[in-house]
Amino acid sequence: MQKYFFKPIGELSNFDWQYEQHAAVVLPDGDIMLFDNGHFRSKDPKKRIPNSQNFSRGVRYRIDTQKMEIKQIWQYGKERGAEFFSPYICNVEYHDEGHYMVHSGGIGYKDGQTCEGMAVIECVNPDGHRYTFNSITCELVDDELLYELQVPANCYRAEKLPLYSANEVWESGKGQLLGSLKATPTTTLKIKADETSDVVADQYNIKIVECDRILLQGTFEEDTLAQILFIAEDNTILRYKIDTTHKDFQAMCVGTFQKANNREIDTFINKTGLCGKYQIKLLLPYGESYKIYQTNITISV
């Protein structure tokens, strides 16, 4: 396996390997530029570096695939230490030779100190701790910091965009709808349930929002069987499953969008395929059986 690893050359005192990198890009001369998150900075768990002593950076490498050699050409961020450390996401951009953007977008703090875990995950269940976030975007020309923007949030990937693109021609006019969302699948599972005139209980915190889609928000116990019922004017019933199964936290990139209470569930239903007026009802557990509850909401599509 060793034959697949590059040999560092040049000023080795200024060389660091990258760990859990993001945004790798091939530059015009063939160099590789990327954001080196640096998470743990070791493949050996016994040698992992605490976040409070770690660093993240933008880095540029020159690679010779014939000689299997690698040389570090440039970096920015190591000198800033933990304040610039992001264990996930981030970006680099090459604008011209010596003109770069380095975006450290996943900085997290626990009670005012660098979080040793993943702040974006831990904040889901804070347990009395206070979590804060930061994002630092830097623009550099010939190693001079021309611009720095800090935002009190985790930001996935900063981009520098021109106000106008070259040869751009913009004409005003009526917008066009291009494509559509697919119809949300219904479920064929029919559950024996008595209908009641009662409105769904407050404990479910039900909220229905109609925008480009129909969103039902509510609080449900894990692994309970629940459905949204769309009752058409001809009494046809469309049944949609409310997914109450437990889901592991898998994508750190969406961590800031996680709800504090994982029993708070969003169910989206696309309008594609719907036509007319529908009464919205909910099929929910009632003891060891089920009931159909009213929401007193009617939508027209």
Report, as an integer, the average pLDDT of 123-142. 94
CA distance 87 to 150: 17
- pLDDT of 256 higher than 80: no
Report, as an integer, the average pLDDT of 215-220. 93
Which residues are 140's β-sheet partners?
A: 100, 145
Predicted pLDDT of residue 4: 87
3-state secondary structure of 18: coil
Q: For the ranges 15-29, 124-138, 171-185, which has the lowest average pLDDT?
A: 171-185
Inter-residue contact 193 to 290 (CB < 8 Å): yes
Instruction: For residue 216, give both structure tokens.
Output: 């039902």
Handedness of CA 193, 195, 200, 206 (dihedral sign): positive
Q: For the ranges 35-49, 64-78, 242-256, which has the lowest average pLDDT?
A: 242-256
Give the global pTM: 0.62
Q: For the ranges 64-73, 113-122, 157-166, 229-238, which has the lowest average pLDDT?
A: 157-166
Predicted pLDDT of residue 178: 86
Domains of the chain, first to last: 2-151 (no CATH), 194-300 (2.60.40)
Q: For the segment 20-57, what is each residue's pLDDT rounded down to a tens digit?
A: 999 999 999 999 999 999 999 998 999 999 999 999 99
205 vs 73, 93, 133, 201, CA distance in Å?
Answer: 56, 44, 29, 8
Q: For the ranges 1-5, 85-89, 120-124, 236-240, which has the lowest average pLDDT?
A: 1-5
Inter-residue contact 217 to 115 (CB < 8 Å): no
